Amino acid sequence: MNVEKKKELYSLHSLLGFLAMGKTGGNPPVSAVLTNEKGEIIEKAHTQTFGGNHAERELFSLLAKKQDTNPKKQSEKTNFELSKIKTNQSASETESLLSESILSVSLEPCTHFGKTPPCRDLVLTQKPKELLIGWKDPNPLVLSGDWTSYKEKGISVRLDPVLANASLPYLQGFIKRIQSGKPWVWIKSATSKEGHFADVTLKKERVSSESVDLYLQMLRAKFDAVAVGPNTLNIDEPSLHFRITEPMIQKMGNAKRITELVPFFEASTNLISALCQWTKESFVLHELEEAKYQPYRVFVVDPNRIPSANFFAKQKKLNDEYGEKRCIFFLLEKESDRMEGKLGISETIQKELESLSNHKLVSLGKEDGDTFLKSLGEIGINTLICEAGSFFPLFLESSLTEEDCILEIRNSEKSIPHGIPFAYREEPIVSEFRIGSDFIFIRKPKRRT
């Protein structure tokens, strides 16, 4: 496989991972590509929605369907259809093709029975010549690194560091949750040119420009959950769902990466790079599958400031529209109430909150950031965006790790001279992008002293 074909392969893995991320639930968004020795694409796939096929099973299922499909009835290929395989091949021709093929997967094939049988067994049955793996699977249910069975079938196996780098942005959340029990956390804030996220009066106003809206909605689609604190909940009454509108498409700005050199395995930067690269090409697909890309909507409620009836109506409407209760509520309580086993809210409000969610209402103290994250991890949430004002930087200060990310969208044309500074505005910038008048800064969480 020459250099150009390798570049195409890694780019395709990036696209597949991008398309999978945000709709696989607790499963990792894995990409799988089957090529011949020259690097020509035979088939490709990614993990389907939770409970559906893993990437490898989806790939070989698509391959089998092509073998059985009448070419005259085939529909026109999409922009993402790169397969060159003939659709009228016999079983023996397909077997011969597989024996000389290379299967590359971003994550080691699973070895355990879950909602689907082990992908390792399927790969052993199909017998490609070589198996390239991006990452070993950290899941304790997987016999990671036990590749004897592959070798016994004549399948050579090796780790591919470039494939690992291309797929890390999509797998980082799964890897972190499995290893720590907590999701990959992004604290996100839009700021003025002074680095302020709001006026001192906390009035509701737009900060980022419209040119970045589509990108931020696509970023929301990539995450399993989006959270807001009590102030944002009461001032903005946000919906937090993923949506694409015609004005977003019309006003979409051109994205440019400014920083040239970043660490090789820098998942946050590479995810924003992928967002800049794939948004224009894939937003239509995301729009068509809007329901599948809906994140959990996470709200931290202050019992002294109960959300309005309008908020409850909005969330009920979204649940009805997408056919699933995607709200999760946490109640920020006084220590005295928690000691006495009180929730601090009326039974009516408790029932209203619980009616919008399939998950129990969890009470939190002001220093329970770890409990907050682990509660989400237990649900299977791999990735979390915290829409930040002043709440999450303080609440999660002791719970963030080096893998986590601070995302600042600074509008160079918006001024809030007498505003509230974003907590991380002075932290060193890891990487920088620009979309219209907005600068996208990737930073790392503050280290505790």
Distance CA 273, CA 291 (A): 25
Q: Which residues pair with 188 in a beta bridge?
A: 387, 407
Query: What is the average pLDDT across 348-364?
Result: 95
Distance CA 271, CA 267 (A): 6
Closest to 164 measured CA to CA, from 138, 200, 199, 203: 138
User: What is the predicted pLDDT for the residue at 339?
Assistant: 62
**Which pTM was predicted?**
0.91
The one-letter amino acid code at 181 reads G
- pLDDT tens-digit map of 166-223: 999 999 999 999 999 999 999 999 999 999 999 998 888 999 999 999 999 999 999 9
**CATH topology (fold) of 181-443:** Dihydrofolate Reductase, subunit A (3.40.430)
Tokens read off for 260: 């040239």
Give every CB contact of residue 442 below 8 A, 6+ residues apart in sequence: 268, 269, 272, 405, 406, 407, 429, 430, 431, 432
CATH class name, domain 3-169: alpha beta
Residue 54 confidence (pLDDT) above 70:
yes
List the single range of 31-35, 386-390, 403-407 with lowest mean pLDDT: 386-390
User: What is the predicted pLDDT for the residue at 146?
Assistant: 80
Domain ranges of the chain: 3-169, 181-443
Query: What is the average pLDDT across 386-415?
Result: 95
Residue 115 has what DSSP assignment? S
Confidence label for 337 from pLDDT (cuts 50, 70 and 90): low
Q: What is the dihedral of CA 316, 321, 325, 331, to 10 degrees?
A: -40
Residue 308 has what DSSP assignment? P
User: What is the predicted pLDDT for the residue at 117?
Assistant: 86
Residue 76 confidence (pLDDT) above 50:
no
Confidence label for 277 from pLDDT (cuts 50, 70 and 90): very high
- pLDDT tens-digit map of 227-256: 999 999 999 999 999 999 999 999 999 999
3-169 with 181-443: one CATH topology? no
Query: What is the average pLDDT across 415-434?
Result: 95
Q: Evaluate whether 160 touches 8 at the Cβ level (below 8 Å).
A: no
Distance CA 436, CA 441 (A): 14
Residue 154 confidence (pLDDT) above 80:
yes
